[in-house]
Structure 1
Amino acid sequence: MFHKVAIIGGGAAAATLVSELLERRTPRPLHLDWYCGAPGAGRGVAYGTPSERHLLNVRAASMGMFVSKPGGFLEYAQALDPTVKGSDFLPRRMYGDFLQSRVTQAVKNAPSLGHDVNVLPFPADSLVPSADGVTIGYGDETSQADAAVLAIGSLPPRPLPGVEDAAIASGRYVTDPWPFLASAEDDDRPLRVLVIGLGLTAVDVLLELSSRWPNAHFDALSRHGKLPEPHLSAASAPNDDGGELIESMRDDPNLRVWLRRLRDAAAQAEDWRTVVDGMRPHTQSLWRELPAKERARFLRHARWAWERARHRMPPQVAARVAALEAEGRLHRGRGRMRSVHLTPQGKLDVASAVPGGNETIAGYDIVIQTVGLNTDTQRTEHRLIRQLVLGGLVTPDPQGLGLAALPDGHLLDGAGKPRANLFAIGSLLRGALWESTAIPEIRKQAQGVANMLLAEKPERVAAR
């Protein structure tokens, strides 16, 4: 058992792991240092939005915090509103409240279980792992732990190539949409807005700003010009848990073969969503079996299609976006942004490559980048990750999907060997697991890492 553990991060993954550890009885006291980064942590970016327009894209019944209590969130929501159903898509703000309430209660109850907790409202700046433990640096101070877990969520977004520094400095090019949305005020001007990307973050931006800016017109640009698919209005069971399909995919780990078999299965199913949902329990193991060359091919050619089928919109959100298009306030286009230039008049000229090899230039008042999670640890400005990578203390994932790790969360050192006392959960494990950002996966990771941290006789770690 590791007696002193440091958890780094202030979002849902960190809150889930902290709660998982503190709610367990252990043969010896556990000392936990939680570097949460800010007062009142536990929500992170995903569940920090105050807007009622931003809904969970998973039904309430599936959003429990612990593997042992999968219905915990639904019970919490029904205590507030007895009319809530398990099939409902509830506000993300409510889920943030749930996370905070559970982790706050776990910290409060920890002494009664013999645990000592130190919640530090600032981030860790550095980690130096060794055979004897981990040294954590924060500000001008250092602390020691027997083991540490990185649960930091996605990395800060970086501007896309081709965006001029002057455009960023003007404040009209928005790299991180969440602080922008939090400070956005009502505005009746006929603004012209470009959203780059068409995933779930883009949908959140469109919902919020179209309400706050009733006279604004929105263009949305992405490689394929397609929105995420919608959920069905009623919950449906997965397609026989995908058994036959999964076995056929395991027999031949080749992307082209997989796509053909997925299309065939979807064509035979009553609804294609049941096929995708039936794959979910197996996606991580399938990803591990896919050769590196095939993974790279998936990321280049099929990732966009998988993401829009796997990460779907609630029906009421899809209806609102469709209404924006019908009203003429939203126009979706295919293409790639090439450059963003700040004009002398203070507008942004955006050059885009569109189908057919042509290039168009259009002017906008605001451009908002919504291209999804940043997990590229080789190019990030995140202080802690940069320190670990540049120091050769960890290995970046070669596909830019977080850090190299074993499937159980052990991070690999600069030589590619697993570290016995340094772990990660959440988005930093996308390279090892692919599916590693949603609550059902995170709560399972938290349970597994907690088991390893608290094991009386830790297993010998070996690369595999």
Structure 2
Amino acid sequence: MFQKVAIIGGGAAAATLVSELLERRTPRPLHLDWYAGGPEAGRGIAYGTPSQRHLLNVRAASMGMFVSRPGGFLEYAQSLDPSVKGSDFLPRRLYGDFLRSRVEKALANAHTFGHDVNVVPFTADSLVPSREGITIGYGENDENHADAAVLAIGSLPPRPLPGVHDAAIASGRYITDPWPYLAAAEPDTRPLRVLVIGLGLTAVDVLLELSERWPNARFTALSRHGKLPEPHLAAVSAPSENGDELVESLRDDPNVRVWLHKLRDAVAHADDWRTVIDGMRPYTQSLWGDLPEAERARFLRHARWAWERARHRMPPQVTASVVALEKAERLVRRRGRMRSVALSPEGHLDVVRAMPGGNTVTDAFDVVVQTVGLNTDTQRTEHRLVRQLVVDHLVKPDPLGLGFAAQADGHLLDAEGKPRANLFAIGSLLRGALWESTAIPEIRKQAQSVANMLVASK
């Protein structure tokens, strides 16, 4: 087993792994150095929002922290409010509270099995793996050593889209990272013109929060297809009974065009299309592994947007709120692509967008918020640790920009494509290896698997 382990990251993935390890009886006591990056370890960006309007898009019954206790979050929520049901979509803030409570309990009980934990209130700035172990740099030229390390750092900091002028960013009116902006946004009654670039779940959160704080603002949402995420059903639906048969037919021919044809056919014969998508959930990672790289690239170009809409759905009450914004004529959706954003002499932002067909239109906005999904491009990131690992050729980036090149079990690959025995990852930066690697049901399985490898007898 690896007796001294470094866990890097302060979000849900890191919290889940720390708790998974500390609640185990191991052949020898563990020493964990947890580079949490701050005092609120466990929440991360996803569950750090204070807004009650930001809801989980997974029902409470499925949000447990551990594979062995999938109902743990529901039990926690019901201990605070007995009226909560397993089918409810609860605030992400509450889930952050749950994570913190579980982590605090695990840290407090670590001595039960003789484990020692050092929560480091810094981010790890560098990491050098070798056969003898791993050297971690942090703080003011401080160093620690570990036998193994796990990167659980979530998605990478967002980068401005191509075409955004430096002056637009410097003005503070072009928002690259929406979460700090939402946390600090003050109430404003001016008739602001707001553009949201992207139409995924983050865009929906931005729209709901700013529309409440800015009651006279008008919103435009721009995306390639101009479509919102699909809604969840109000009631729980069972996955399709023909899921296994569909999956086997997909395995027979790992071709994106063939897959889309078969999925459309399955949906046409289902009572509700959601049952087909949900029935594929247990097999998505292995199906992704069956696709050659060229087919994965084709999926990203042509089918990703449709899959994300169907897979990552809105709770019914969120859907109702967005529909109400549209009916009140406070929100309009546009199809197209942003070409440029420039700061005008008058101080607003001139946005040039290309419409379907190739024509361009220029509109003026007071605020532009970028919400284009997770950044997993390890080759072009400003994240200090990831950049160091890539520049020093200690890890191999995923060729499609989906995090790190890795084995399906989480072992990162070195520059030559060989697995590193003592360097792992869980979470968003394994999308290249697993595709489905961002939601709690997948992360808790990864945490269990990596914990098993870390404590296994050699």
TM superposition score category, shorter chain reference: over 0.9
Amino acid at match of 1:119: V
Amino acid corresponding to residue 138 of structure 1 in structure 2: Y
- CA gap of 1:51–1:241, structure 2 versus 1, over 3 A, is farther
SS of equivalent to 2:111: helix
- Tell me the residue number matched to 1:387: 388
1:145 aligns with 2:168: no
TM-score, normalised with respect to structure 1:
0.98
AA paired with 1:425?
A: I
Q: CA offset at residue 385 of structure 1? A: 0.1
C-alpha separation in 2, matches of 1:413 and 1:287: 22
Q: Deviations over 1:201-226 (max 9, x none)?
A: 00000000000000000000000000
Matched with 1:115 is 115
- Which residue number corresponds to residue 40 of structure 1? 40
- Shift in Å, 1:161: 0.2
Per-residue CA deviation, residues 253-273 of structure 1 (Å, 9 max, x unaligned), is 111110000000000000000
Rounded Cα–Cα distance in structure 2 between residues aligned with 1:204 and 1:41 = 23
How far is the alpha carbon of 1:456 from its aligned partner? 1.1
Equivalent position of 2:135 in the other structure: 135
Give matches, 1:23-422, under 5 Å.
Answer: 23-139=23-139, 140-240=141-241, 242-422=243-423
CA contact (8 A) 1:126 1:388 kept: yes
1:11 maps to which residue?
11
Q: CA deviation at 1:67?
A: 0.1
Shift of 1:327: 0.4
Query: Hey, what's the Cα distance between the residues in 1 that align with 2:294 and 2:91?
Result: 39
Q: CA deviation at 1:25?
A: 0.7
Looking at structure 1, the residues matched to 211 and 296 of structure 2 have their Cα atoms a distance apart, in angstroms, of: 37
Where 2:79 maps in the other structure, the secondary structure is helix
**1:339 match: secondary structure:** strand
- 1:440 aligned residue: 441
Structure 2: distance between partners of 1:243 and 1:356: 41
Q: CA deviation at 1:355?
A: 1.2
How far the C-alpha of 1:241 sits from its partner, in A, is 6.2
Distance 1:255 1:30 in 2: 45
Equivalents in 2 of 1:276, 1:155: separation in Å? 27
Dislocated runs of 4+, deviation >3 Å: none
Q: From the superposition, tell whether residues 64 and 241 of structure 1 become closer, same or farther in structure 2 (CA, over 3 Å).
A: farther
> Which AA in structure 2 matches 1:422?
L
CA deviations 1:370-406 (Å, max 9, x no partner) are 0000000000000000000000000000000000000
Secondary structure class of the residue paired with 1:211 = helix
Task: Indicate conservation of the 8 Å contact 1:201/1:372, yes or no.
Answer: yes
Separation of aligned partners in 2, 1:356 and 1:424:
42
CA distance, structure 2, for counterparts of residue 451 and residue 359 of structure 1:
54
Q: Which amino acid aligns with 1:142?
A: E
Matched to 2:115, the amino acid is: H
1:307 CA displacement: 0.2
Structure 2 unaligned blocks of 5 or more = none
Partner residue, 1:460: none
Contact persistence 1:47–1:92 (CA under 8 A): yes
| 1:23-42 deviation digits (Å, cap 9, x = unpaired) | 10112110000000011210
Task: Report SS of the residue matched to 2:124.
Answer: coil
For residue 424 of structure 2, what is the aligned residue in structure 1?
423
Root mean square deviation, CA, Å: 0.5
Give the partner amino acid of 1:203. V
- Segments of 5+ residues of structure 1 without an aligned counterpart are 458-464
Q: Using the alignment, how far apart are the partners of 2:21 and 2:242 within structure 1?
A: 31
Q: Which amino acid aligns with 1:192?
A: R
Structure 1: distance between partners of 2:449 and 2:308: 26
CA distance in 2: counterparts of 1:302 and 1:40, whole angstroms: 37
- Conserved? CA contact 1:9–1:152, under 8 Å: yes
Preserved contact between residue 241 and residue 279 of structure 1 (Cα < 8 Å):
no
Q: How many residues align?
A: 457
Q: How many Å separate the matches in 2 of 1:239 and 1:183?
A: 43
Question: Whole-Å Cα distance in 1 between the matches of residues 26 and 437 of structure 2?
Answer: 28
Q: Distance in 2 between matches of 1:392 and 1:195?
A: 37
Identity %: 79
For the residues of structure 2 that align with 1:414 and 1:254, how far apart are their CA atoms?
28
Offset at 1:240? Answer: 1.5
